[in-house]
Amino acid sequence: MPRGVERGESMKSPTYSYYISAFLVFCVGLLSVITCLNCKASSAPEKQILNINYGDMIRVSGTSMLPAIQEGDWIVLAWGTQHKPVKGQVVAFKDILRGITIAHRVIEVGQDNKGWWARTKGDNNPETDPYLVRESNYLGVVWGIVRAY
């Protein structure tokens, strides 16, 4: 017989506060699972994340960002073009050749007469991407990932 239950008493069902507590523990756990990829970019200022919509998620297919992002993971995006990308961040952008969304790490940033640009490369790719990311095809920063265990 469970400890603390007297003979003849039935075990009580969980209370409302139990469910609230369980939900809060779940939320904290979920936040712990979301891995901040941008922590690697120590040069990224804190203000990079202001005034951006968070929480949009995209399912990952492909292996170009292994081991940081695995196939089947969900990436959490901070949409917005208010701030240009910083070297070391993982950013999402539209592939201008194939029309798909890609998330790769910024390895170089610059400015020219067309505005800012970022050169990107998948962590698991031998070569850099064949084109520059510009404000016109930039979607936002990959804020974190949710593992697809």
Query: Taking residues 16-23, what's their average pLDDT?
Result: 60
Domain CATH number, residue 114:
2.10.109.10
In a domain, 10, yes or no: no
pLDDT > 90 in the chain, percent:
42
In a domain, 27, yes or no: no
Which comes out higher in pLDDT, residue 85 or 79?
Answer: 85
Binning pLDDT at 50, 70 and 90, where does residue 10 land?
very low
DSSP 3-state assignment of 104? Answer: strand
In a domain, 2, yes or no: no
**pLDDT tens, residue by residue, 27-81:** 444 544 444 333 433 333 333 333 345 567 889 999 999 999 999 999 988 887 6
Residue span of the structural domain in which 124 resides: 35-146
What is the reported pLDDT for 107?
98
In a domain, 90, yes or no: yes
Q: How far apart are the first and last CA of the chain?
A: 36
Identify the helix (H) or strand (E) that includes residue 37.
none
Return mean pLDDT, the chain.
Answer: 75
Binning pLDDT at 50, 70 and 90, where does residue 24 land?
low
In a domain, 28, yes or no: no
Q: Which two tokens stand for residue 86?
A: 């910083």
Helix, strand and coil content of the chain, in percent to the nearest 5, comes to 15, 35, 50
In a domain, 61, yes or no: yes
In a domain, 17, yes or no: no
In a domain, 21, yes or no: no
| Whole-number Å distance between alpha carbons of 122 and 106 | 9
**pLDDT tens, residue by residue, 104-146:** 999 999 999 999 999 999 999 999 999 999 999 999 999 888 8
Overall number of domains in the chain: 1
| Whole-number Å distance between alpha carbons of 48 and 106 | 15
Q: Which amino acid is at 26?
A: F
